[in-house]
């Protein structure tokens, strides 16, 4: 008989949250931590190049390569939903924008019976994790593991877009991650010395030499094991062999908003009727598992550039080779940028409370994965709908852990989302028509000037909208019957089981979700270890009168 294999904490997934927890929990020498990651260790050199955003998006070697079910609000398209499947998770394939979110996001969580998740309670952990390139202040951290680098405005188009936002009547924000998010300002990104700086670089790699931390890659967890209401371990497979690993203290899911609810359901925690459809024994009826799925819908307004100042020459041929060579030799140039240099946060309507639209520019007209690109000098403004009313869900397709789950975001299903989108396009077009961009404006490519009515705008959105890769909310924290975890991220009704990742967000943040996910994991680590939480920081934040 094989000896029982056990550890104090089992972390399922080496994504953003898993890397944080692995590092923080293993700081205590008397605690053993085992991380199980389904993917490979890393993606090699290409994953380090900030501008190589399309590399891991093109196949399933380093991402789960998910696609949604036919989306009823998007012309029944099956929309691409990539998620990181390697050490670092989606932080190893994302766009590297560092955006915390609006203080109103976290105060909104607090209002759902979660007082310890207000902005004042979250800010100390944002500061703890951060090493801001401009130094620390009452809003920003300066000695954390995560390097945050302000953008440098690579092209005249970036500077012009910043000026255009201000000309359109929006404020200039000195720091959209500080006192004032609302307005236009220089974007922050997760890069350091010209390289991607995700959760693996920031947290996991410095901890790998610790004898109490082990990371097992190519390990696919099939189900969680229970003794009554207590999680005792997991069953997983590696290289064709099925194994059991037991947790002396806790099992912690860090699989993200798609994989975490999938594993809970495979383990018998989920909507009872749905589990019965797949002949899965119900361990606990939890109707909220897989519900409340939210994402940011992304649309691109593309414009021809009548001056040769875009990044188009660096996207193909000899120009791409030169840019790559410069990065290899100096870690500088176009390849050292994630291409998002300026970001704006505005309201599509006065009663929004705080910004519900993220506006940003890329100095080339191309899709994220490079499959849909304009052949010539161009630029594009991204309009990203930050606070959708529509909700989707994740469901099982079968009881086989190797079968991808059924994902449906339900984009644009709610009328407020459709109204906000129409207004967002008008706002974006107005910014692009400002004097600062006039010297470069060679005419709108997409959607094109002929797309003008509400009906035409919505038709364009349904045909061309994409995910911004920010699924959240499927294991929501809260106190009601639809929530899955409590304020300490413990699964309701269970012992020794937590979920720590973007799936616990009750509502999606006004931001790219990476920064908030790291903050959640930092807070969770203190709770798991029984440490006194960092004291709240009550700082002034912008409130529009």
Q: What domains does the chain contain, in order, with CATH numbers?
A: 1-52+80-143+195-295+393-406+471-530 (3.50.50.60), 152-186+297-385+412-464 (3.30.410.40)
197-207: per-residue pLDDT in tens? 999 999 999 99
Sign of the C-alpha dihedral, residues 519, 525, 528, 534? negative
Catalytic residue chosen out of the listed positions 147, 222, 470, 514: 470
Per-residue pLDDT for 136 more than 80? yes
d(CA 324, CA 328): 6
Confidence band of 4 (pLDDT split at 50, 70, 90): confident
Is 259 within 8 Å of 433 (Cβ atoms)?
A: no
Is residue 492 annotated as part of the catalytic site, yes or no?
no
Look up residue 85 and give its DSSP letter. Answer: -
Q: At 283, list the tokens.
A: 């361990």
C-alpha–C-alpha distance, residues 311 and 338, integer Å: 12
Q: List, as one string, the DSSP characters of 419-437.
A: HHHHHHHHHHHHHHTSGGG
pLDDT, position 362: 96
Q: Give residue 372's pLDDT.
A: 66
- The mean per-residue pLDDT over the stretch 28-51 comes to 92
pLDDT in tens, 57-107: 887 889 999 999 999 999 999 999 999 999 999 999 999 999 999 999 999
Q: What is the rounded radius of gyration, in angstroms, for the C-alpha atoms of the chain?
A: 23
| β 220-227/66-67 pair status | unpaired
Instruction: Quote the CA–CA distance of 129 and 517 in Å, as a whole number.
Output: 11
Q: What is the pLDDT of residue 366?
A: 83
The string of pLDDT tens digits covering residues 278-333 is: 999 999 999 999 999 999 999 999 999 999 999 999 988 899 999 999 999 999 99
Strand ranges in 430-540 using DSSP code E only, listed in sequence order: 441-446, 466-467, 497-499
Residue 44 has pLDDT above 70, yes or no: yes
Assess whether pLDDT exceeds 90 at residue 42. Answer: no
**Mean pLDDT of the chain, nearest integer:** 96
> Alpha-carbon distance 522 to 486, whole Å?
16
**pTM metric for this prediction:** 0.97
The whole-number pLDDT of residue 59 equals 78
- The arithmetic mean of pLDDT across residues 412-418, rounded, is 98
Edge-to-edge, what's the strand order for the sheet holding 130-132? 130-132, 146-150, 188-189
Q: Nearest-CA neighbor of 301 among 359, 225, 375? A: 359
The answer for 487, left when phi > 0, alpha when psi is -120 to 50, beta otherwise, is alpha
């Amino acid at each position: 008989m094989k000896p029982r294999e056990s550890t104090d904490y089992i972390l399922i997934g080496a994504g953003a949250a898993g890397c944080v927890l692995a590092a923080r929990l293993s700081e205590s020498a008397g605690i053993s931590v085992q991380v199980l990651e389904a993917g490979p260790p890393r993606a090699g050199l290409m994953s380090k190049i900030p501008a190589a955003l399309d590399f891991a998006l093109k196949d399933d070697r380093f991402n789960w390569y998910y696609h949604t079910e036919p989306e009823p609000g998007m012309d029944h398209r099956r929309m691409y939903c990539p998620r990181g499947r390697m050490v670092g998770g989606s932080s190893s394939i994302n766009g590297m924008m560092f955006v915390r979110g609006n203080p109103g996001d976290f105060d909104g969580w607090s209002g759902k019976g979660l007082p310890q998740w207000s902005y004042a309670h979250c800010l100390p952990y944002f500061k703890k994790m951060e090493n801001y390139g401009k130094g620390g202040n009452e809003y920003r951290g300066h000695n954390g593991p995560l390097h945050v680098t302000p953008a440098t405005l690579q092209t005249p188009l970036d500077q012009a877009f910043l000026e255009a936002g201000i000309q359109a009547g929006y404020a200039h924000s000195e720091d959209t991650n500080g006192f004032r998010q609302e307005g236009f300002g220089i974007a922050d990104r997760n890069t350091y010395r010209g390289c991607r700086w995700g959760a693996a670089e920031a947290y996991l790699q410095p901890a790998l030499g610790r004898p109490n931390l082990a990371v097992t890659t190519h390990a696919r967890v099939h189900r969680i094991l229970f003794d009554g209401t207590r999680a005792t371990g997991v069953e997983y497979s590696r290289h064709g062999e099925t194994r059991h690993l037991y947790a002396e203290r806790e099992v912690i899911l860090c699989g993200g908003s798609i994989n975490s609810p999938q594993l809970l359901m495979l383990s018998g925690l989920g909507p009872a009727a749905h589990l019965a459809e797949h002949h899965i024994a119900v361990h606990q009826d939890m109707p909220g598992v897989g519900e409340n799925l939210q994402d940011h819908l992304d649309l691109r307004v593309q414009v021809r550039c009548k001056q040769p100042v875009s990044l188009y020459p660096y996207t193909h041929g000899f120009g791409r080779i030169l840019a790559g060579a410069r990065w290899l030799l100096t870690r500088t140039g176009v390849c050292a940028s994630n291409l998002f240099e300026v970001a704006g946060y505005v309201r599509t309507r006065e009663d929004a409370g705080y910004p519900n639209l993220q506006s940003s520019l890329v100095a080339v007209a191309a899709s994220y994965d490079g499959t849909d690109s304009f052949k010539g000098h161009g630029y594009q403004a991204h309009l990203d709908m930050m606070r959708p009313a529509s909700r989707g869900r994740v469901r099982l397709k079968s009881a086989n852990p190797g079968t991808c789950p059924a994902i449906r975001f339900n984009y644009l299903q709610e009328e407020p989302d459709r109204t906000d989108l129409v207004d967002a396009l008008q706002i974006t077009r107005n910014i692009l028509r400002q004097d600062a961009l006039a010297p470069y404006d060679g005419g709108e490519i997409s959607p094109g000037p002929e797309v003008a009515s509400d009906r035409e705008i919505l038709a364009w959105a349904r045909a061309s909208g994409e995910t911004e890769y920010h699924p959240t909310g499927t294991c929501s924290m809260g106190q009601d019957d639809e929530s899955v975890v409590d304020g300490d991220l413990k699964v309701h009704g269970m012992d020794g089981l937590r979920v720590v990742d973007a799936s616990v967000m009750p509502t999606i943040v006004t931001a790219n979700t990476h920064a908030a996910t790291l903050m959640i994991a930092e807070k969770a680590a203190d709770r798991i270890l029984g440490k006194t939480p960092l004291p709240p920081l009550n700082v002034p934040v912008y409130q529009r009168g």
